[in-house]
Amino acid sequence: MVRAYVATAAHAPLPPEVIDATVAPWCGEMGQPAFYRRVAQADQRYTDAVQSHYAEVEPPVLVLWGQEDTWIPADRAYTLRVTVGPDG
């Protein structure tokens, strides 16, 4: 399941070695439960709960977002920028 999930993360197919490196921390006795916790938290309510605190993050952070992001639409990046502000 972890490999299939990660494979959906990119607009174009990911090379096997990239998938291997990405899923490695989520495999095994400790990693698998962490993966399932991560999936369970992929819910808008968690984002909503912290979004008002984004402007408090220091030092400045650069977030890169793919125009063809398959998990979260790019327009969400613009919404977050407005939430934080053009200099945030």
- Which residue ranges make up each domain of the chain? 1-42, 52-88
Over residues 52-57, the mean pLDDT reads 81
The pLDDT score that the predictor gives to residue 5 is 85
* Range 16-24 average pLDDT: 93
Q: Please give the model's pTM, rounded to 2 decimal places.
A: 0.57
Q: What is the pLDDT of residues 29-38, one digit of tens each?
A: 989 999 888 8
Is it the case that residue 82 has pLDDT exceeding 70? no
| DSSP 8-state secondary structure symbol assigned to residue 81 | H
pLDDT at 1: 80
- Quote the Cα angle for 45-61-14, to 5°: 75
